[in-house]
Amino acid sequence: MDIITATAIIIVSIIITFLAFIFFPRGKNYFDYEKKCPELQLLLNNINTIRDECIKLDYRDWINNKDKMSANVLYLFDKISKDVLKIPNTYNLLTKIPNLKSVILFKINPDVYIDKQKDIIELSNTTIRCIIPLKLSTIIKNGIIVSDNIKIFQNEQVILFDNSKEYSIFNKHKYNHTYLLVLDITRPDSIPIGTSDIKNTNQYDDIMNKLDIFDL
């Protein structure tokens, strides 16, 4: 084998390893939903229905990163939004997912990198977060980074991750928004308790009371 061939093989191996790291990261930051929360397959099986209903909803200022994203809170702290009346099929599907603690739709603005954050204790240490992309601005330029471990969003994919650790989300398309369905589910016994130390500072209560939409 000559030097050129050997060098080419090494370069290809490095590229394959890098792509595998991005698209299929391993470790305790991400989890296999089919093993930990197989019930989420129901949402994937009906992703077109969920997408058609949910991206038409109104999206409002979120607690932080207001210039980078907006949200529609469907379910949080045992309160249900009146907006579920506008998405009857999606709502019916969500009622079949056990141990739900929150359901939030996020609209990520174009060309943004959302700063690293941890979620509050109540929505991270005893729960596990699920992201299901509804509409991507583009492939490759959308993703999540958990403790420096990158995973690219893909259509019809569930990302289950530990949001008690630092994470960030990015949408680097210059013009198009990305829409995400985000669920918090009670942690399975096989996943250790999270490590967040972020306390609820009443921001959640303030935004929910301000919107006056949680009286269903």
CA gap 211, 98 in Å, rounded: 27
Question: In order of start, what are the domains of the chain with their CATH numbers?
Answer: 28-211 (2.60.120.330)
**Torsion angles phi and psi, residue 131, rounded to 5:** -120, 130
pLDDT, residue 77, reads: 86
Q: What is the pLDDT of residues 173-188, one digit of tens each?
A: 999 999 999 999 999 9
Do the beta carbons of residue 109 and residue 69 sit within 8 Å? yes
pLDDT given for residue 62 in this prediction: 85
The SS3 of residue 210 is helix
Q: What is the pLDDT of residue 18?
A: 47
Q: Which amino acid is at 133?
A: P
Half-sphere exposure of 190 (CA within 13 A, CB side): 7
pLDDT the model gives residue 1: 57
Which residues contact residue 147 at a Cβ distance below 8 angstroms, ignoring those fewer than 6 apart? 29, 165, 166, 167
Mean pLDDT for back-to-back runs of 10 residues, the chain (216 residues): 55 47 60 95 97 95 86 91 95 96 96 93 94 94 93 94 96 96 95 90 70 56
Whole-number pLDDT of residue 17: 42
